[in-house]
Amino acid sequence: MDGTGLPLVSLITPGQAGDSPMLLPLLGQLRVTRPAGRPRTRPEAVLGDKAYSSRAIRTHLRARGIKAVIPEPADQQGHRRRRGARGGRPVSLDADAYKGRNVIERQYAHLKQWRGLATRYDKYAIIYRAAVVLNAVLAWSKRLSDMP
């Protein structure tokens, strides 16, 4: 989602799959068109909760020049401190930018107001994905109709 809560890309996974392993494939699909030139594929920052705080995700974001606004869990802090100088530097967290994550959480709460999306009654993933895309289209059309 962008900073205003509009969905940019979606990926359907099994219900028991975690969210954080899907971040890298989602970033691989991200394409935001611009008025001129190639589409943008690299966001300025990625906001996530503590579940997204993994070495693989942080390394990938750092390699692509994307700012990670992800807090470090207490257990990872303890492991880093125990390792001493070999543990590396503490991760930085932009607390002001992290406050913007509530926009994303509110949009997910709005998305779950659709009963079919919240409970996943659909037998086929293609039907469920169609509902997700329809919800995204409605969110984008509502935002565009609100613009002057």
Average pLDDT of the chain to the nearest whole number: 80
Q: pLDDT tens-digit profile of 74-105?
A: 877 777 788 777 776 767 778 888 887 888 77
- Domain range list for the chain: 20-146
pTM score: 0.72
Q: What is the pLDDT of residues 47-64, one digit of tens each?
A: 888 888 888 888 899 899
Cα→Cα distances 84→71, 76, 92, 101, Å: 20, 13, 17, 31
Q: What is the rounded distance in angstroms from the CA atom of residue 111 to the CA atom of residue 66?
A: 27
d(CA 1, CA 84): 37
Task: Give the pLDDT score at 63.
Answer: 92
N-to-C CA span, the chain: 22
Distance separating alpha carbons of residues 66 and 119, to the nearest angstrom: 33
Is the torsion defined by CA of 64, 67, 70, 76 positive or negative? positive
Nearest-CA neighbor of 27 among 12, 44, 41?
41
- Per DSSP, 122 falls in state -
- Express each pLDDT in 25-50 by its tens digit: 888 888 888 888 888 788 888 888 88
Per-residue confidence (pLDDT) for residue 1, from 0 to 100: 60
Q: Averaged over 14-23, what is the pLDDT?
A: 77
Distance CA 16, CA 73 (A): 22
